[in-house]
Amino acid sequence: MDLFSYSSNKNFNNKPLAERMKPKKLEDFEGQDHILNQDSLLYKAIKEDMIKSIIFYGPPGTGKTSLARVIAETTTSNFVKLNAVTSGVKELREEIANAKEQLYVYNRKTILFIDEIHRFNKAQQDGLLPFVEDGTIVLIGATTENPFFEINNAINSRSMIYRLNPLSTENIVRVLKKALKEDIILSKVEIVISDELLTSIGDFSGGDARKALNILESAYLYVKDWNEKVITMEVIRNCLSDKSYNFDKNGDNHYDLISAFIKSIRGSDPDATVYYLGRLLKGGEDPVFIARRILISASEDIGLANSNALVVAQSAFNAVKVLGMPECRITLSHAALYLALSPKSNSAYSAINGAMDLAEKTNCQIPFHLRDMTNQRLSKENIVGEMDQESYKYPHAYENNWVEQEYLPYEIKDNKLYEACYNGSEVKLNQYMNNVKGKK
């Protein structure tokens, strides 16, 4: 039986609204236009049933499993679903064996969808590789974690990786209105709810369509129990699992909070930093997500002014993954406050952005004296146009291990990419360089 089939499920009416409203075709899919517009590779691959191995990643409720469902409804391949939380090596081997039979006996491909694939350990992930490589299976993985951190490089290199973004409030309002109009249960009852309140639900859900539909369903059940038809703000508040968390149209959402948290670190305000951290944790934010943002801030905002911030942030990231809540809240506070109290420099951030921008605009030849001469089959004298180029000067052979020579390509030699912020440790680093360069 197709594990994603609705028609064969006798208990469909008993499923949650979010499950009942999952799309079965691309035209029903809401959001993700950056990967699902009609000219996109993914859209065409689904439509033409030419899916290759894929990793979908993004926050909860953005449509990762729903997109896999769409593929299941569209493809002629054998479609199998596993959940990495409940499935182990035994189930994996069984499905691989079935996939081999489907391929070699019936000449039918198998698409193996693994939800929460990051929960598979390294050995389990490695076990998939041979069968992805030889075409026994086409792998589709779904994860809330960044695959470049949580999925083996070998799997990543053999897969197309697509990030699904949080849905906009407008996207979610359309999903809610569609549920009221088309759901097998809600469409048969008279429910009154204002557009403003639907927008408030969209704001509160933080881009998570599942959360929004769960709120709507809870509100419907609430008014049904009281023989009412009108869903009000008070009804919504009574349906929320965390009554202390503010809910209104202009309320803080996931991305506003994380933005305020990072900007407080950048602004060196320890009180605001720990306050927004508390709000994030109280609101149920994934601690690993917070730790990852702290890790980014360590290089983006503190940088060379205190390079130890990166060490602290990396240690915190590792500790959070080991400890989990509630203990890891202390580690997050430790790291966040350390960053907030550190001197700031964005020179590393600015330098790499400028370098990548320059690299995109230019394709200069590497100066002759910087090339790998061990692999040069031609001598300098035999390379036309480079006979007058200087020879490489080995810095360690000179006083203070430094010698003046040009490293940038000639065409861009006057570009200045690194601009010192002269703060914290970066002051000493630049003083050292200036002193060295002054002793020629």
- pLDDT tens sequence across 89-147: 889 999 999 999 999 999 999 999 999 999 898 888 988 999 999 989 999 999 988 88
83 φ/ψ angles, rounded to the nearest 5 degrees: -115, 125
- Predicted confidence at residue 254, as pLDDT, reads 64
11 burial type by CB count under 10 A (0-12 exposed, 13-18 middle, 19+ buried)? exposed
53 burial type by CB count under 10 A (0-12 exposed, 13-18 middle, 19+ buried)? buried
Alpha helices (H) in 230-269, listed in sequence order: 233-239, 254-266
Chunked mean pLDDT (size 10), the chain, 440 residues:
48 82 89 91 93 91 91 90 89 92 92 93 88 92 87 91 90 94 91 90 84 92 83 85 46 71 94 92 84 95 94 95 88 96 93 90 84 59 49 85 86 86 86 75
Task: Report the alpha-carbon distance of residue 155 to residue 133 in Å, rounded.
Answer: 10
What is the CATH code of the structural domain delimited by 355-437?
1.10.3710
266 burial type by CB count under 10 A (0-12 exposed, 13-18 middle, 19+ buried)? middle
Neighbouring CB atoms inside 10 A of 58's CB total 20
What is the CATH code of the structural domain delimited by 31-163?
3.40.50.300
* DSSP string for residues in 360-402: HH--PPPPGGGS-GGG--S-GGGSTT-TTSPPP--GGGSGGG-
Task: Report the alpha-carbon distance of residue 116 to residue 81 in Å, rounded.
Answer: 11
What is the CATH code of the structural domain delimited by 254-341?
1.20.272.10
- Predicted confidence at residue 419, as pLDDT, reads 85
- Predicted confidence at residue 375, as pLDDT, reads 55
User: What is the architecture, at CATH level 2, of domain 169-239?
Assistant: Orthogonal Bundle (1.10)
User: Across the strands, what pairs with 55?
Assistant: 141, 161
- Sheet containing 160-163: which strands, arranged edge to edge? 78-83, 110-115, 137-143, 54-57, 160-163
Domain positions in the chain are 31-163, 169-239, 254-341, 355-437
Q: What is the pLDDT of residues 242-257, one digit of tens each?
A: 544 444 434 445 678 8
